[in-house]
Structures are given as C-alpha cells and as structure tokens.
Amino acid sequence: MVIKPKVRGFVCVTAHPAGCAAHIQEQIDFVRNKGPIKNGPKKVLVIGASTGYGLASRIGASFGCGADTVGVFYERPSDVDRPATPGWYNSYAFTKAARAAGLYAGNINGDAFSDDIKKQTLEMVKRDLGPVDLVVYSLASPRRTHPVTGVVHKSVLKPIGAPYTNKTVDTDTGVVSEITIEPANETEVADTIAVMGGQDWELWMNALADAKLLAPGATSVAYSYIGPEVTWPVYKNGTIGLAKNDLERAAKSIDALLKTHGYGRAFVSVNKALVTQASSAIPIVPLYIGVLFKIMKAKGTHEGCIEQIQRLFSTQMYNGSALEFDDSGRVRVDDWEMRPEIQAEVKRIWPQVTTETLNALTDMDGYRADFLKLFGFGLPGIDYDAEIEPHFAFD
C-alpha cells in the first residue's frame, strides 16, 4: 500500500515502516558517532521500549554500550487495510539492526501493567539474558487495569483546585487561542496517579528482585518532566505532576530496596521538553515547545530524545561519571532547557505569540516535522509515493 500521514488531532493514525526504520538508523548512527560509553550496562530491560525516551534508551544501551536488551511495549501490528503503529515498526527496525550487530534483542508485546506480561518478561530475561544491570521504566499510557483489583484507571491532564486559562496552539492550523481547562476531581487525581505514578515501577522491581534477576550494582531509572512556570498548572502542579511526585516516591523506595539487597541505585531523570506522542496531548505544552525550540536551536543547545539519553548515559550514569542530583534527589538533563537565560527569553516571547506572529516567534515548523517523524514521515531518502509492504512480524 501507499502510506501517507493522516493526522487526527494530536495523533497520526498511520505510520510508514521505511520511514520508521530510517529514523531508527539516524539514532543508531548518532550514538555510534559519539563513540563507545565505557563501563556501560550489558544486560538491559526497557519497560516502555517502542517510542520516545524508552526507545532512545534501548538504542543508547545497545549501540553505545554493546548491551543485550529485552524490550516491553504494547503496539498494534498491521492488518489487512492499515499499517502497524509506529512503535511496532520502530521495534522491528531496532531488533533487526541490533541482531545484525551481534546483539541480543528480545521483545514482549503486551500490557506491561499486567501480571501476565511481567511473568512472560521475567521468563525471557531468565532464559536469554540472566540478571540485568539496568532497568529503564518509561511507560506512557492513558489507562491502566490494576492487576489486583481489576479496576480500569484513566489518566487526565488537568489542573487541580481551580480552572486554568492560557494560550495554546492548534498544531495543524497554526491558530493560537485561549483555552480554559477545568480542574480535576479527587477520583481523576487518584486515577492519574494510579496510571502515571510509581506503583507499577515498584511492582516490576520487586518481581525482578524476587526472581534474582538483578545483577550486583543494578541501576533503575524512570523519566520525568518539570518544565517552566507557564506549564505548571497543567503539568507540575496538575494531575500529571502529582503522578510524577509519586514516581519520585517510588524511586526512593526502589533505591532502598536495591541497597538492602546489595544492588545499586534507583532514581528519576528529569528530561527536556520534546515532541512525543504524550506531550502532544497536553494543552499549552506544544506552544511552549515551539517557543523553546526556536530559542535553543538559535543557541545551538537543542537536543532530541537520543541526544538527551546519550548525554545522560555518558555524562551521568556511566563513562566514569557520577550522578549529580538536585535538592530533591533527581538527575537533571533538562538543565540546558532550564538555564535562566533560556527561560527569560521564553517569558519575553510568550505574551507576543499570536496566530499572526506564530511563525516568526516559534519553531512550529520544526515541531510539526518532529511530530511527523515520530510516525516515519518526512525522512530523507524515502519515496512516500511508492507502494510499500506494511506487514512485519517478529520472530
């Protein structure tokens, strides 16, 4: 079939397999060009491995550190009349490249929140890898079926306590308008913490520890975001921010667990604002990203997912480096984004952004290009008018 982008709101409902493969290769090439990361992990489990920071972590571990990996993800394969999800094509391309490089790459496709997928994953790790020395937890899901109660929890992106009004942008049309988001109720807050908080990370780490599948010195990291004040009502101080607070609580609990059993450490890494499927769904954030990208690209400090993870691995976690924590015990690779001069420029520009000034004051074209790239579109060297085989199955 010929596959073109079909965007519905903040989601593209098609994905291009050759484009996704080219995107994976771009990231592999970046990591390889940076050179080997000394003393990096060799056996890695990535939970949430098919897109964004989780995918970048898998690529960085394999092609920067020579690691064998197991990736857990929940993606839809192609069917008769539609292509697969981008995460399916990403994982297929990664697996092919890793195996060609002589690296082990095992995959588990299913609901990572479920006991069954945890069991399947532990069996694969035990059979094919042995104890792992790095566990990356990078799940981003709109819902979670609790493995004990069976209750389906759905996350929401809302402020807490009062409505919040600010400007946002329709990324398709470029129209800037005001949006008012009503506050979450107590149930919505609790549900969002249940989905996006740290309980499931704890369940994974306890299961690995009980199965004796953590190597001496094993590390676990989960990813978070804080951002600037303009986004705080819908992020840091909103429902998702409370969930991220619970993630930090879990990091401390897991860190204590690891140290009690003679393993290594667990921590949260706060990363930069980027175009991801998750961030595209948060009101106000895409406009902020457009402003931020314009500023950081002009200063030469812009990074994508793979650049962030390569820097985290090479300057914080491995390569003879030591972790640097902020006052709350978090590692910060959003440090370039949060530099005072960068945020001062964001504050200066923000009030000036309108529909008419959008293209001059923001990098919305870059935002759109990055968004389509997530789905395999806009990659150089790909003939998007050609027929392509959409069906790929893992062995």
> Looking at residue 229, what DSSP letter applies?
G
Q: What is the pTM of this model?
A: 0.95
* Residue 388 is assigned to a structural domain of this protein: no
Task: Return the pLDDT at 269.
Answer: 97
CB 153 within 8 A of CB 146: yes
Tokens of 371: 């968004």
Using CA atoms, how far apart are residues 80 and 213, in angstroms rounded to an integer?
40
* Residue 294 is assigned to a structural domain of this protein: yes
Catalytic residue, from 74, 164, 223, 235: name it.
235
Residue type for 21, please? Answer: A
Residue type for 220, please? Answer: S
List 331's β-bridge partners, or say none.
Answer: 269, 325
By DSSP bridging, strand 43-47 and strand 132-137 are: parallel
Please count the other Cβ atoms lying within 10 Å of the Cβ belonging to residue 309: 32
Using CA atoms, how far apart are residues 307 and 291, in angstroms rounded to an integer?
20
* Residue 59 is assigned to a structural domain of this protein: yes
> Is 235 annotated as catalytic?
yes
Residue in the structure block whose two tokens are 């499931």: 200
What does the buried/exposed string (b/e) look like for 79-108 if buried means 16 or more CB atoms within 10 Å of the residue's CB? eeeebbbbbbbbbbbbbebbeeeebebbbb
Reported residue count of the chain is: 395
* Residue 155 is assigned to a structural domain of this protein: yes
State residue 6 phi and psi, 5-degree precision.
-125, 105
Task: Return the pLDDT at 261.
Answer: 79
Reading the chain (395 residues) residue by residue, the pLDDT tens digits are 899 999 877 788 999 999 999 999 999 999 999 999 999 999 999 999 999 999 999 999 999 999 999 999 999 999 988 999 999 999 999 999 999 999 999 999 999 999 999 999 999 999 999 999 999 999 988 999 999 899 999 999 899 999 999 999 988 889 999 999 999 999 999 999 999 999 999 999 999 999 999 999 999 999 999 988 888 888 889 999 999 999 999 999 999 999 887 888 999 999 999 988 777 778 888 999 999 999 999 999 999 999 999 999 999 999 988 899 999 999 999 999 999 999 999 999 999 999 999 999 999 999 999 999 999 999 999 999 999 999 988 87
Q: What is the CATH number of the domain that holds 49?
A: 3.40.50.720
Domain housing 59: 7-373
* Residue 298 is assigned to a structural domain of this protein: yes
Using CA atoms, how far apart are residues 350 and 238, in angstroms rounded to an integer?
21
* Residue 13 is assigned to a structural domain of this protein: yes
* Residue 61 is assigned to a structural domain of this protein: yes
Q: Which of 164, 170, 165 is nearest to 184 (CA)?
A: 164
Task: Return the pLDDT at 163.
Answer: 94
Using CA atoms, how far apart are residues 223 and 235, in angstroms rounded to an integer?
14
Number of domains the chain contains: 1
Task: Return the pLDDT at 124.
Answer: 98
SS3 content of the chain, % helix, strand, coil (to 5): 45, 15, 40
Q: Find the DSSP H helices in 175-238.
A: 186-196, 199-210
Task: Return the pLDDT at 260.
Answer: 85
Tokens of 54: 């989780």
Using CA atoms, how far apart are residues 334 and 271, in angstroms rounded to an integer?
5
* Residue 384 is assigned to a structural domain of this protein: no
Using CA atoms, how far apart are residues 316 and 295, in angstroms rounded to an integer?
25
